[in-house]
Amino acid sequence: MTAAKSTAGAKRVVVFDYGFGNVRSAERAVARAGARVEITRDYDAAMNADGLLVPGVGAFAACMRGLTEARGHWVVERRLAGGRPVLGICVGMQILFARGIEHGVETEGLDEWPGTVGPLQADVVPHMGWNTVRAPADSRLFAGLSGDARFYFVHSYAVRGWELPDDAGTGAIAPPKVTWSTHGEPFVAAVENGPLWATQFHPEKSGDAGAQLLTNWIETL
């Protein structure tokens, strides 16, 4: 196992604990990538951290309810308004979109990006296991990773179309960078959009490739 890096002078990351995410796995992975990590739902701590990580596991509607009850929607919105970095993982990425539809029930998301999270159309669902992605050549999130790098996915729902114009975004100077993967059909695997980055896969469960990706994010904080 890779030893944790020294945290002297390291960036401070808050893993937002709203009851729906693998917070301990995320904490360990971010610490190994060189950051000082705190698991909390404290508003001030989350607002003042160098980076905020929003995990998510389970149903879209339940995650949105938990995030709202913990005031996480305010934290994400206000951090992004100030250009402060946020990283969403798995359902923590999905809730950044406008809406999710599960079992015919539509739930409003955070609407940082337009788009709908819906069921994957594939012979085998959930999509569980390792898969490659197609990242833009100038991606900072995937810097230093080869095109055959594999990441760990566990999901039955995804965003299957990117609806934001290339010249728009969440406080972004550069156009959004969208990474794709395929399981039965193409779906959005990651997004880099100004201070807001997100992955459908679990970098904390993706071995060396996931560790490199988290290091890339931390280095931008």
Q: Which residues are catalytic?
A: 90, 202, 204
Q: Which residues contact 137 (CB under 8 A, 6 or more apart)?
A: none
DSSP calls for 140-180: STTTT--TT-EEEEEESEEE-S--S-TT--SS-SSPPEEEE
3-state secondary structure of 85: coil
153, 128 contact by CB (below 8 A)? yes
